[in-house]
Amino acid sequence: MKGLSQCMIVKNEEKHIRRALSWAAGIAKEQIVVDTGSTDRTVEIARSMGAKVFHFPWEDDFSSTKNYAIRQASGSWIAFLDADEYLDADDAKKLPGILKKLSPEHTDGIMSGWMQLDSRGEFFAGASQVRIFANRKDLRYRRRIHEQLFSSEGRPLRLVDGSQELSIFHTGYADASEQKSLRNLPLIQKELNDHPGDYEMLGYLGDTYFSGGKTDEAEEAYQRAVKAMPKQIEEGDQRSAVTFLNLLQIADQKNEPESRVKALLEAALSRRELQKDADFDYLMGRWYLARQRFKEALPFLLSAAEKLEKYGNFNRSMYTAAGLKDIFEQTALCWMKEGNLNEAVRQSTAVLKADPWSFLALCVLMESFHSGKVEAGQAYDFLSRFYDVSSLKSRIFLLRAVKQAKWEELEKKLHGLLSREELACFERSMEKQE
């Protein structure tokens, strides 16, 4: 038994199935697709791509279906991704080499990066998942939904951290629907009927309500999850972190008093295992920013960036990793609002070096220069390092920021670079925005 078997369970996935199978086509010895009742072209497409297609009646249990798929696999290793997930092409090429270095008898699985993409294909959150694991009889899935890989021997899984080498992209949240939430809810409730004290499943119940806009029900489920949590959780317990993080977001949505928000933060960070998670600092920084309290926001934003650098984002800091640019932009804004113009210039310049089209960073830079009495000519020369002023796009972009900074002298200088037609077009666009 050698090689890699790709497995997946599907139903009406013609939109995703081709991409889902393509990434492993050159590295997997077999591709196993278990269909649970598709009425579209999913099965037809899978077969045309050479996949082995099996049929399994849906019985409201993701684990039983996945375990059926595993039993069809003949490879030493299994890659079990959903139809709306795929491995990055470059990372897929690395996978055979990584597996050759590991023993499927002494390694249970590999933790891969799990990148959440929104409807625009942009990264908005990250996590870690075990989607590549050894094909052994003692490794199977459990739970009807939000299924987990476990060892029937009752020991913790022996995992290798591959999150820096392997990235799985997940587009499912872009297609999230009320119908999906309604499907998940009864499965979660069945699990809770069998295991009423399962704090993780209570957290998933809260997620289902939260994503469906039922914040009161979500808050109640999360509070039950907190009460059911063991006194000591594992470091990197992302499920517990999400429970507390979503409670903070609900408090923000309800505009609850600062004392309530601080109490939630203290409850989360009283657990030593969550203290390395930068997301708590990031959300608190955003909470103060939303209230224009820049002085209080600044230390949280700085702490979030520091924790991410120090502890990484392996099973933690999923929002911070995705929002790092936002943290740097907002930190520059806070420095400016607090009157530390040197830090504001330094921070906004660092952002613009990485992304010249960060409008917030450019505005902070312009306002800091203007407040610091920098001459318009010097500012123009400085901006020329980042922007090709012969480009209309650059000239318009600069002019928008300078206008927002109310720097008339520099605005006049940029006006001189535009034709009458271009200037008239710019003025009309500004009027529409107002």
Q: How do residues 126-142 score in pLDDT, each as one tens digit?
A: 778 899 999 999 999 99
pLDDT given for residue 431 in this prediction: 61
pLDDT given for residue 88 in this prediction: 87
Q: Output phi, psi for 31, to 5 deg.
A: -125, 115
How many CB atoms lie under 10 A from the CB of residue 92?
20
Indicate the pLDDT class of residue 175, thresholds 50, 70 and 90: low
Residue 77 in tokens? 């290793």
Q: Cα separation of 330 and 344, whole Å?
A: 10
> Residue 78: helix, strand or coil by DSSP?
strand
351 and 299 in one domain?
no
Per-residue pLDDT, averaged over 418-432, amounts to 74
pLDDT given for residue 421 in this prediction: 80
149 and 294 in one domain?
no
Please tell me which residue, 215 or 416, carries the higher pLDDT value. 215
104 and 8 in one domain?
yes
pLDDT of residue 315 exceeding 90, the answer is: no
Rounded to 10 degrees, what is the CA torsion of 270, 275, 281, 283?
-70
pLDDT of residue 99 exceeding 90, the answer is: yes
Q: What is the CATH number of the domain that holds 31?
A: 3.90.550.10
Q: CB under 8 Å to 45, separation ≥6 — which residues? A: 14, 17, 18
Looking at the structure of the chain, the number of domains it has is 3
249 and 195 in one domain?
yes
Cα-Cα-Cα-Cα dihedral sign, residues 58, 59, 62, 68: negative
193 and 267 in one domain?
yes
Indicate the pLDDT class of residue 260, thresholds 50, 70 and 90: very high
pLDDT of residue 426 exceeding 80, the answer is: no
Cα-Cα-Cα-Cα dihedral sign, residues 150, 156, 158, 163: positive
Residue 56 in tokens? 């399994």
166 and 18 in one domain?
yes
282 and 353 in one domain?
no
pLDDT of residue 123 exceeding 80, the answer is: no
Give pTM, 2 decimals. 0.85
pLDDT of residue 117 exceeding 60, the answer is: yes
22 and 141 in one domain?
yes
Among residues 330, 354, 377, which one ends one of the domains?
330
For residue 363, what are the domain limits? Answer: 336-433
Q: What is the CATH number of the domain that holds 388?
A: 1.25.40
- Is residue 11 within 8 A of residue 58, CB to CB? The reply is yes
Angle, CA 105 vertex, CA 99 and CA 108 arms, to 5°: 70
125 and 35 in one domain?
yes
Helix spans in 52-211 (H):
62-71, 89-100, 178-194, 199-211
> Residue 61: helix, strand or coil by DSSP?
coil
Among residues 330, 359, 383, which one ends one of the domains?
330
204 and 167 in one domain?
no
Q: Cα separation of 62 and 147, whole Å?
A: 7
275 and 137 in one domain?
no
Query: 63 has which bridge partners?
Result: none
Among residues 174, 201, 236, which one ends one of the domains?
174
182 and 170 in one domain?
no
Q: What is the CATH number of the domain that holds 217?
A: 1.25.40.10
pLDDT of residue 301 exceeding 80, the answer is: yes
Residue 41 in tokens? 């072209």
Residue 187 in tokens? 């499965």
